[in-house]
Amino acid sequence: MAKEDEVTIQVEIDKKLQKNTEKILKNLGITTTDAITLLYEQITKTNSYPVDSTLTEREIANIIEKRNKK
């Protein structure tokens, strides 16, 4: 893919979560960009959010609530 066909996505995420996730991805041989691209590809392919979350509804609500307070 040519550079002009790419975009940069900027997100805010908890620092501890980011560091822990980066360690796991590194062990898997996947970069953050690879992981996000794979997620986007799955969303496009399935026309849905393809992650079977083990988080409870309350945990998800807390994450969204915390993000919205910023």
pLDDT by 10s per residue, the chain, length 70: 677 889 999 998 989 999 999 999 999 999 999 999 999 999 999 999 887 778 888 888 888 888 788 6
CATH number at residue 38: 1.10.1220.10
pTM given for the model: 0.70
Q: How many distinct structural domains can be found in the chain?
A: 1
Q: With beta carbons less than 8 A apart as the criterion, state whether 36 and 9 touch.
A: yes
Please tell me the predicted confidence (pLDDT) of residue 37: 93
What range does the domain containing 32 cover?
Answer: 3-68
Tell me how crowded residue 3 is: count the other CB atoms within 10 A of its CB.
Answer: 5
